[in-house]
Amino acid sequence: MQAAIQAAQLLTSAGHPTDAASLTVIREADGAVSTMPKGIARTTGTRPDGTTGPGIVLDARTTSHSPTQASAGVSPATGQGWSQINNGCLTENKSQGSMYSCWTLQKMYNDGYPYNDFYTVTFDGTARSNGSGMHYAYVEVTKNSSSTAFTVVDWNPKSNYYQNCNSSLSVGVSYIVSFNMNVTECDNWYVYADPGNNPGTQYSEWLAATVYWDAREATLAQEVETAENRSPIWNLYYDFQ
């Protein structure tokens, strides 16, 4: 029940319905409880330690919101901008704490390219210990095997960071039209992206050599280019320990 309440709070802030018909709560075999919007396909991915972790399939062809032009990155001179077409949140609760992850999917309008479309996906997760301590938390996106072909044209973060928790970092993409968000980065933030050999695969991981008892965040942003009227499909993975 607590997982559903926490998910409802996150979904409310993201603009999603929070009635019982819109949410699903699943208890995993290891006792962890996951809460997510109904209708989201589930998948699994590999954690940093080699075991499998939970994930969802994010399909740009299935929109949960009507696109609007009230998004960041509007250029009055050209009318270009980002239109949000999907967003949502997930929760995962374990004995040592909880992780809350939210995504936003946007499509560019008036991009000026008659044969291509452009999309951005942002994915961030905050893991919070209940006193048992944590070693890592990560978020990851990969290209789904059923996705149309796409090219990664921008992504962020692009390199590793090591800072204290007072450091603010701007994460975003800027190909054609900019989109940015500010996050607080703590300790060691490990980043992987290989758009040439593994298009679409990208992850950000908070990793510590010692145990921490407070909240830690990992986040990423990716922009891709598809053929006109084609839509990407990603797998989104998330976990903490």
* pLDDT tens sequence across 34-83: 776 665 677 777 765 577 777 888 888 765 444 444 444 444 445 788 88
- Asked, for residue 17, whether it belongs to a domain, the answer is no
Domain assignment of residue 2, yes or no: no
Mean pLDDT of the chain: 75
Whether residue 93 lies inside any domain: the answer is yes
Residue 121 lies in a domain: yes
Task: Quote the pTM value.
Answer: 0.75
Digit-coded pLDDT (tens) for 130-160: 877 777 888 999 999 899 999 999 998 887 7
Q: Is residue 132 part of a domain?
A: yes
What's residue 206's pLDDT? 80
pLDDT at 116 over 70: yes
- Lowest-confidence region among 3-7, 75-79, 126-130, 231-235: 3-7
Asked whether residue 55 is domain-assigned, the answer is yes
Q: Is residue 25 part of a domain?
A: no
Predicted confidence at residue 181, as pLDDT, reads: 66
CB 212 within 8 A of CB 129: yes
SS (H, E, C) the chain: CHHHHHHHHHHHHHCCCCCHHHEEEEECCCCCEEEEECCCEEEEEECCCCCEEEEEEEECCCCCCCCCCCCCCCECCCCEEEEEEEEEEEEEEECCEEEEEEEEEEEEECCCCCCEEEEEEEEEEEEEECCCCEEEEEEEEEECCCCCCCEEEEEECCCCEEEEEEEEEEEEECCCCCEEEEEEEEEEEEEEECCCCCCCCEEEEEEEEEEECCEEEEEEEEEEEEECCCCCEEEEEEEEC
Q: Is the pLDDT of residue 185 over 60?
A: no
Show the domain range for 120: 41-240
Number of domains in the chain: 1
- Grade residue 94 by pLDDT with cuts at 50, 70 and 90: confident
Percent of the chain surpassing pLDDT 90: 19
Identify whether 6 is part of a domain. Answer: no
Q: Give the separation between CA 147 and CA 32, rounded to whole angstroms.
A: 29
> For position 221, what pLDDT does the model report?
92
pLDDT in the model for residue 91: 83
